[in-house]
Chain A
Amino acid sequence: MISALNPYILTLVTFIPLAGGLLLMFFPRRDRDIKVFSLVISLLAFVASLHLPVHLGSDPSLFKFEIDKAWIASPNIHYHMGVDGISVWLIVLTTFLTPLCVLISWTSIHERVKEFFILLLILETALIGVFTALDLFLFYFFWEATLIPMALLIGMYGHGRRVYAAVKFFLYTMVASVFMLAAILWLYAKTGSFDFVVLQNAIRAGSVPGFVAAAQWLFLGFFVAFAVKVPLFPLHTWLPDAHVEAPTAGSVLLAGVLLKMGTYGMLRFDLGLFPDQSRSNAPWIIVLALIGIIYGGLVSLVQPNMKKLIAYSSVSHLGFVVLGIFSFNPAGLDGAVFVMLAHGIATGGLFMLAGLLYERRHTYEISDFGGLATPMPKYAASFLFIVLASVGLPMLNGFIGEFLVLSGAFQARPIYGILAATGVIWSACYLLWMYQRVFFGKVRNDVNSTLPDLNTREKAALWPAAAIALLMGVAPLIWLSSIDPAVQSALQPFAQLAAKVVGQ
């Protein structure tokens, strides 16, 4: 019965939010109705998306729930969607975070409420689309479609320098993805297909004319677009601005999902289409990732602004993901995917927590707080839980991913592992130090002594994230059992490559 849904489930999951957003346009401006409706729609998308991992089947390395329909005859564009063990969890992450975003924005958005939730739902569709698309054109379509709603969310609902941040975000990512478009067009011009699977087979069979000469440029075209999104050092400068100015829900989706578009793209398209170039470019990419890990950590240490601190910590954490991907071994890639998910939950949680504080005090400055554990014990406890998940305390989700990445990096080259491991230390330093300054000691600022603790709605937004962080920490196999086969199949060309090298 439910398996009859399979060919349509991806379409359904992807477009439920958009349909909700379109309906919302015709709603009267009664804020409460709009919020409730958005919550219902986003929960609906979440429930529908749970169908995916449950029915993924025995071999998660293959694309499942595929739908492949001709969309436009010329150029040969297909509406081709499908998920494997990697993308399925990123979709669930997106649908999981969106209802939390709706809850967290309940009272913090006062004006143009309708537009806010319309944009949020459109953004969700675009994000899910990025992870489902198996046609390069469709992928680019969704990739670009995330830009406008996100830029508008930052620019319309952000804080002080929101316009600057929104324009910077837009231009940075737009300019970079143009290179990807050029690479996609080149591939199409030579093969007549946008289909990921078709292209992958053609490239592996060596039947793309002129590919050898162009491959390095094509790899870079894709890579630059992804590296800006991740963001990889030194292309990260849009990120702190965008995060600091964005509204809470924007930050949560930005850190939680948008950045993963970049790492997902590297994993799926750079490794999938250009294995040789991925390997030959790996050294400098890993160096940049290592710089990002250490630089992000050190810069986080000295941030006086809580949100900026969390933003730079993302640079550091995403460095781990890139390191894992370009280690080319199962542990590294498993870890990379796991860190993507764990970082989505933990950093999403941190941004939600920071947003709650901002709603109460209208500041992110760490020095404005102190001793908050006394007036807000529940808030402090939740904060601590999420901080520990982010730091990588065993039994919580951050630990599993970072451990796997580090072991993968050690296998690739011990020095990578040693340098990256310092990142874990830095993250403990900046997060715990921040925690100490905000929550411990006496209440230094009188305004803070009467701050209200978490209410039911806020708990409803935070505790699911905390629960998942715990579950991912104690039962990582729920996730890894489907991630690992997919990763193994992604690594197949690399194993062959290694065998070839050894054979010579």
Chain B
Amino acid sequence: MTAITHLPALLAQTLAITPPTGSEYIRILPELVLSFFGIVIMIVDPLLDEDRSHKSLGAIALIGALAALVSTFFMAQDPGNAFWNMVRVEGFSVFFHALVIAISAVVILASYEYMAVQRIRAGEYYGLILFGTVGMCLMSSAVELVLIFIALEISSISTYILAGFRRREAASSESSLKYFLLGSFATAFFLYGVAMIFGATGSTNIDKIASSLASGSVPMLAYVAMGLMFVGLGFKVASAPFHVWTPDVYEGAPAPIVGLMSTGPKAAAFAVLLRVMFEINAPGRFWLLWVSAALSMTIGNLGALVQDNIKRLLAYSSIAHAGYLLVAFTAQPELGTSAAMFYTVSYAAMNVGAFAVVSHFGNVGEKYVTLEDYAGLGKRYPALAAALTFFLISLIGIPITGGFFAKFYVFSAALQSDLVWLTIIGVLNSAIGAYYYLRVIVMMYMREPRADVPCPPVPAATWLAVAVCLIATFYLGVLPGRVLRKATDAGMGMLHISQNTTPGATVASGQ
């Protein structure tokens, strides 16, 4: 009865809300394009012969991703808020849109032959990649915590399923289930944090939360809320002490998907973290991030030292890299933001590339993923091994690679914020890190090839994926200026700092 009596009021309320205008739809154009192509794949999939659908579906997915990439350009033309201030298009969200869509495109390329080799049904696979990308895109442009949560779930649920796609392998199912259970647990923390911040500030809108926290005293509840939200996001970016799932999940999931998981959702989660930590100017974040950064770097690098499985090794390495990235979060916002954004880009370039190579070397059923299997690959695949070497050098952080500048910007931002100890921990860690990446290079070049490891020819699509990553890593390593400037502009815009004011006035305001 009551519902009925309230109905007119509700109706009036609904009508009072202005419907979104056309330009607001442009502001979520990439998401729309991706969803459209995802649906097309789902419709086309049952019409095609299962054994031969890999290529056509892959092509549709690739076209979709590229179309979405182009549509970010249109989206960028018209910055502003959309959908009742839930979505914001600015340099920052465009930057991350372009990044995650590019990652998906390269991962689709890398999966192109992989699907046929592993005999995996392609339909849902490509569809899920596109839908997952929708979630990642939304994460970067959402300025409303509830929408961020929904976007987070869209991207997470897709990746949970994708992790289990090698369904004939027990390890893959284990990976999927583990990821799902722990992931849901972590997102619950995030949601709890959202609820608490709503309690503390009366809003779930980033701007309103920021202004509420900036004016007057910060309630205790806000600190707890930030801690809880960090638990949820820390899980997504695989930072210690929320990293435990990473090695098992990465080991079981299909290699191209690991390339995606370790970069795309991670980049999006870092985007959310940047908004939550810096745009809100989260209270009490400094030590939280400091400790997590130091722990991630150390645990990641030490853990990787003893791995014999290359996917596990790269999993620990991704924990370590999350740690380096978090170092940027402890720096002053105007320095740390651009450093962190640059890091996500160059980490994406080198890691997706590395996993593209790993997924080819893995062969049927990903049997060949231990270090022993990599013996002598330098002789059998000179070019592909050289590419992997380049990615590994970049992961170590040696000049002429994007990985070097990424570390460089992060540590110099930290030093300019007077974080000498964290920088020392980071720098020592990157020296330790050199050892295990080097082990892979040593195996490839300084051991004799094993006769029992098959070496099928490298398909063109894989080559293309590797080449894109190679060029990106090299470009970032030689001419990082352009991307860094984009990141700086976007970061300043996100922080509402006009370009003319010189940064440096606020020394790590979180301290």
Contacts and interface: CB of A to CB of B under 8 A. Distances in A.
Interface of A: 71-75, 112, 115, 140-142, 144-145, 147-148, 151-152, 155-156, 162-163, 166-167, 170-171, 174-175, 178-179, 181-182, 185-186, 188-189
Given A72-B481, A178-B430, A186 B398 contact: no
A144 to B, nearest CB: 5
Nearest to B439: A167
B462 interface: no
19 contacts: A74-B488, A75-B409, A112-B379, A115-B382, A144-B399, A144-B404, A145-B399, A147-B398, A163-B442, A163-B446, A166-B442, A167-B442, A171-B434, A182-B423, A182-B427, A185-B408, A185-B423, A186-B415, A189-B415
Interface in B397-442: 398-400, 404, 408-409, 411-412, 415-416, 423-424, 427-428, 430-431, 434-435, 438-439, 441-442
B445 A141 contact: no
A159 to B, nearest CB: 12
Nearest to A217: B420
A185 B412 contact: yes
Contacts, number: 82
Given A73-B485, A74-B484, A171-B435, A166 B382 contact: no
A135 B452 CA distance: 50
Interface in B238-275: none
A166 B400 CA distance: 21
A145 B398 contact: yes
B431 A162 contact: no
A174 B409 CA distance: 19
A217 B206 CA distance: 43
A339 to B, nearest CB: 30
Interface of B: 378-379, 382, 393, 396, 398-400, 404, 408-409, 411-412, 415-416, 423-424, 427-428, 430-431, 434-435, 438-439, 441-442, 445-447, 479-481, 484-485, 488
A170 B434 contact: yes
Contacts of A182: 411, 423-424, 427
Given A167-B438, A178-B427, A155 B445 contact: yes
Contact of A188 (B398, B412, B442, B480): B412
Contacts of A171: 431, 434-435, 438
Given A167-B442, A182-B424, A189 B479 contact: no
Contacts of A140: 399
Which 5 A-B pairs have CB atoms at the shortest separation, nearest pair first?
A141-B399, A155-B446, A189-B415, A175-B431, A189-B416
Contacts of A152: 441, 445
A181 B442 contact: no
A145 B446 contact: no
B413 to A, nearest CB: 9
A386 B408 CA distance: 44
Nearest to B433: A174
Contacts of B430: 178
A152 B446 CA distance: 8
Contacts of A163: 442, 446-447
A126 to B, nearest CB: 9
Contact of A75 (B404, B412, B423): B412
A72 B400 CA distance: 13
A404 to B, nearest CB: 35
A72 B412 CA distance: 15
B409 to A, nearest CB: 8
A331 B314 CA distance: 53
A445 to B, nearest CB: 31
B415 A156 contact: no
A148 B393 contact: yes
B197 to A, nearest CB: 34
Given A175-B434, A182-B423, 14 more contacts: A72-B481, A72-B484, A74-B484, A75-B408, A112-B378, A141-B399, A152-B445, A167-B442, A170-B434, A174-B431, A175-B431, A182-B427, A185-B412, A188-B412
A73 B480 CA distance: 9
A141 B416 contact: no
Given A112-B379, A152-B445, A175-B431, A145 B416 contact: no
A72 B479 contact: yes
Nearest to B443: A163
Given A140-B399, A144-B398, A178-B430, A155 B423 contact: no
A354 to B, nearest CB: 22
A32 B435 CA distance: 36
Contact of A156 (B399, B423, B446): B446
A24 to B, nearest CB: 13
Nearest to A138: B399
A174 B434 contact: yes
A181 B407 CA distance: 11
Nearest to A181: B427
Most chain B CB inside 10 Å of its own CB: which residue of A175, A178, A188 = A178
Contacts of B378: 112, 156
